[in-house]
Amino acid sequence: MAMHPIVRFGDPVLVTPTTPVTRFGQRTEALVRDLLDTVDAPGRAGVAATQIGVGMRVFSYNVDGRIGYVINPRIAERSAETQEGDEGCLSVPELWYPTRRAQRAVVTGVDLRNEPVTVEGAGLMARCLQHETDHLDGMLYIERLDPDTRKRAMRDIRRSSWFLPDAAPSPAPSPSLPSAFGGAG
């Protein structure tokens, strides 16, 4: 088992767009295994490769008994209907803010054989798919907050016991599943 520590807010890998996977060999297989092992901890709904310090376009998910991964994901569809709920992030631990997301989302990508895959869901799964794809685009959920909430979030981050701008990343605590992405849905 290769559960990796989660990279925290302040690390440049979290705000750097990822590189698409073009070679499907042992390295990619190892990354997918590591992501699946890392997302398998209690309270984790999704883990992007950037959250374990890897700038490749891959994420894993673990929502309502559905566990899997997507390589080179892109949002193919979002519903016009939205959900609003408290959202959190393993890379911004212990802090949750109201975040608007599409109620339903569809992600397309490929698997380890470079075969097309589609993952879709509503509620928490839709929130997860959007959140993890944002990570791979170099965007943290706090960038989606309204200006006043974002200002509060940045202040809360600076005051957090885990936020040390010059410190090396350390493992983030695993929030409970409803807290990881919020209970909206």
Distance linking the first and last C-alpha atoms of the chain: 32
Which pair of tokens denotes residue 69?
A: 């991964």
Residue 173 pLDDT more than 50?
Answer: no
Tell me which of 29, 77, 132, 143 is the catalytic residue.
Answer: 132
Per-residue pLDDT at 139 exceeds 80? yes
pLDDT of residue 185: 29
The pLDDT-based confidence of 108 (bands split at 50, 70, 90) is: very high
* pTM, rounded to two decimals: 0.87
**Domain parsing of the chain, residue ranges:** 12-160
132 included as an active-site residue: yes
pLDDT tier at 176, thresholds 50, 70, 90: very low
Residues contacting 38, CB < 8 A, separation 6+: 2, 3, 4, 6, 44, 47, 51, 52, 60
134 φ/ψ angles, rounded to the nearest 5 degrees: -55, -45
- Would you state the pLDDT for residue 174? 37
Nearest to 174 by CA among 60, 90, 59: 90
Fold (topology level) of 12-160: Peptide Deformylase (3.90.45)
Neighbour count for residue 145 (Cβ, 10 Å): 19
Interval 7-41: pLDDT, tens: 999 999 999 999 999 999 999 999 999 999 999 98
- Alpha-carbon separation of residue 177 from 53, 64, 96, 108, 145 (angstroms): 22, 10, 12, 24, 21
CA angle 129, 135, 138 (to 5 degrees): 145
Residues listed for the chain: 185
Tell me the pLDDT tens digit for each residue of 46-79.
999 999 999 999 999 999 989 999 999 999 999 9
By the 8 A CB rule, do 127 and 87 touch? yes
In DSSP notation, 57-80 reads SEEEEEETTEEEEEEEEEEEEE-S
User: 116 - beta bridge partners?
Assistant: 110
